[in-house]
Chains A and B, each alone.
Chain A
Amino acid sequence: EAGVVQSPRYKIIEKKQPVAFWCNPISGHNTLYWYLQNLGQGPELLIRYENEEAVDDSQLPKDRFSAERLKGVDSTLKIQPAELGDSAVYLCASSSRYNEQFFGPGTRLTVL
């Protein structure tokens, strides 16, 4: 069974530029999560989707961050414009409802 796929794995951009991350969850998993992991810290939830619906986006900085999960499968997380403090690893995870979350390898973002 294929795991959670994320791309790109690494991204380096100048501040104020836009950036997008893509996630393909495990087949059949209705729940998709985006997490932010700062260096030396545990992951922090940004947004959770149940199928197409964002059911928890309370931690998503909506002034610059946006996410979508069209058709309830793949998801994209966007930052526009990026700031220096956005440098981190962005993790995607998926689960079938109420079950174990499986994480992807993450996208390491560096904002210069």
Chain B
Amino acid sequence: QQQVKQSPQSLIVQKGGISIINCAYENTAFDYFPWYQQFPGKGPALLIAIRPDVSEKKEGRFTISFNKSAKQFSLHIMDSQPGDSATYFCAAKGNFGNEKLTFGTGTRLTIIP
């Protein structure tokens, strides 16, 4: 059972544009929602994360928007750059004592000049 659904599967954005990736979850016990960035041949690296007590978190050009009632969260990349071209994974984890990260299926982002 896929507990974290991610869309789109792939995304092409022009340089300087806004990239938006969406995720939805089912398990209401999740209380930590990270986004990971993965380049070819590398392991995933934490980009930004949010807990459900806030609706938005911003770090530089990256923003997570969180809608607890809809059980949805999204990643926004402002002023997208070619260096942002990578695969992005959303994930979710339960509270203390349940450290299992459940990942989405990933979004391959390509930023074109």
Interfacial residues, chain A to chain B (CB-CB below 8 A): 4, 31, 40-45, 48, 56, 91, 93, 95, 98, 100-106
Contacts and interface: CB of A to CB of B under 8 A. Distances in A.
Given A103-B44, A106-B43, A98 B99 contact: yes
A42 B105 contact: yes
Given A42-B105, A42-B106, A48 B100 contact: yes
Interface of B: 4, 6, 34, 41-46, 49, 89, 91, 96, 99-101, 103-106
Contact of A105 (B42, B46, B99, B100): B42
B105 A103 contact: no
B103 A42 contact: yes
A106 B108 CA distance: 19
A45 B41 contact: no
Contacts of A103: 43-45
A101 B100 contact: no
28 contacts: A4-B43, A31-B99, A40-B105, A40-B106, A41-B105, A41-B106, A42-B89, A42-B91, A42-B103, A42-B104, A42-B105, A43-B89, A43-B101, A43-B103, A48-B99, A56-B99, A56-B100, A91-B43, A91-B44, A93-B43, A98-B96, A98-B99, A100-B34, A100-B46, A100-B49, A101-B46, A103-B44, A106-B43
Contacts of B91: 42
A98 to B, nearest CB: 6
A45 B100 contact: yes
Contacts of B49: 100
A41 B46 CA distance: 17
B43 A105 contact: yes
A105 B41 contact: yes
A70 B44 CA distance: 26
Nearest to A89: B43
B103 to A, nearest CB: 3
A105 B44 CA distance: 8
Contacts of B4: 42
Nearest to B96: A98
A31 B67 CA distance: 30
